[in-house]
């Protein structure tokens, strides 16, 4: 079995253990774990960490096409055609994005952010749920800006099969999960047994 940490990364914490404080080390006292993918310093929510290199690659590498789902507070109220643009893909400076999932949602029940989001009294805001299969730098923020909806707050709630759930900011849960399937052998004979899969629902204690 592989070990996996589900961590609710607070705002202002980089996805690394070294550097200027605060870092992941202030919240996760376990050695040998490394992030499987990244989450911007000014974004919040689910960050996965593991001590298994194969699992780290399976989660983070774009070739495995893990859906990453975010709740996004934006400035403005989107029309349906704006959401359609996000779903179809928008053109960024580094090229068009792949099709995404996007829909408007009711204001989610989230913890208060520290520092709080700055609002403009004359401009309404709304919440979207956006899921992507890419991992470009600050991609969600760039996508919403491209369609005229600047991001105010960004919270990742799921990566592939794993969900943030009820984890509070700065808390983590350590679980065990089956290792990812091995890559096929060069001879062409499959090395992956049918039915092999990662699973999210394993018991584990929330830690702070």
Residues labelled catalytic: 40
Question: What's the burial of 106, exposed, middle or buried (CB within 10 Å: 0-12/13-18/19+)?
Answer: exposed
Render the burial of 23-39: b for 16+ CB within 10 Å, e for the rest.
ebeebbeeeebbbbbeb
Residue corresponding to tokens 């400076």: 93
Sheet strands (E) in 55-167: 68-75, 91-92, 95-96, 101-105, 125-132, 151-159, 162-163
Q: Which residues contact 154 (CB under 8 A, 6 or more apart)?
A: 40, 42, 43, 44, 45, 70, 71, 72, 73, 140, 141
**Cβ atoms 161, 155 nearer than 8 A:** no
Residue 114, by phi and psi: left (phi above 0), alpha (psi -120 to 50) or beta? beta
Beta-carbon count within 10 A of 148 CB:
13
Q: Please state, as a whole number, how many other Cβ atoms lie within 10 Å of the Cβ of residue 130.
A: 24
């Amino acid at each position: 079995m592989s070990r996996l940490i589900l961590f609710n990364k607070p705002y202002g914490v980089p996805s690394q253990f070294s550097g200027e404080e605060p870092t992941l080390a202030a919240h996760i006292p376990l050695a040998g774990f490394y992030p499987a993918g990244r989450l911007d310093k000014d974004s919040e929510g689910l960050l996965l960490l593991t001590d298994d290199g194969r699992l780290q690659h399976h989660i983070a590498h774009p070739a495995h096409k893990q859906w990453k789902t975010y709740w996004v507070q934006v400035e403005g109220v989107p029309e349906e055609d704006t959401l359609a643009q996000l779903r179809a893909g928008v053109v960024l400076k580094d090229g068009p994005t792949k099709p995404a999932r996007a829909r408007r949602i009711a204001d989610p029940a989230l913890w208060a952010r520290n520092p709080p989001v700055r609002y403009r009294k004359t401009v309404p805001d709304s919440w979207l749920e956006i899921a992507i299969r890419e991992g470009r730098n600050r991609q969600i923020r760039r996508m919403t800006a491209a369609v005229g909806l600047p991001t105010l707050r960004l919270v990742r709630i799921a990566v592939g099969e794993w969900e943030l759930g009820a984890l509070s900011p700065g808390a983590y849960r350590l679980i065990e999960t089956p290792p990812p399937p091995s890559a096929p052998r060069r001879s062409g004979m499959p090395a992956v047994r049918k039915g092999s899969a990662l699973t999210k629902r394993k018991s584990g204690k929330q830690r702070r």
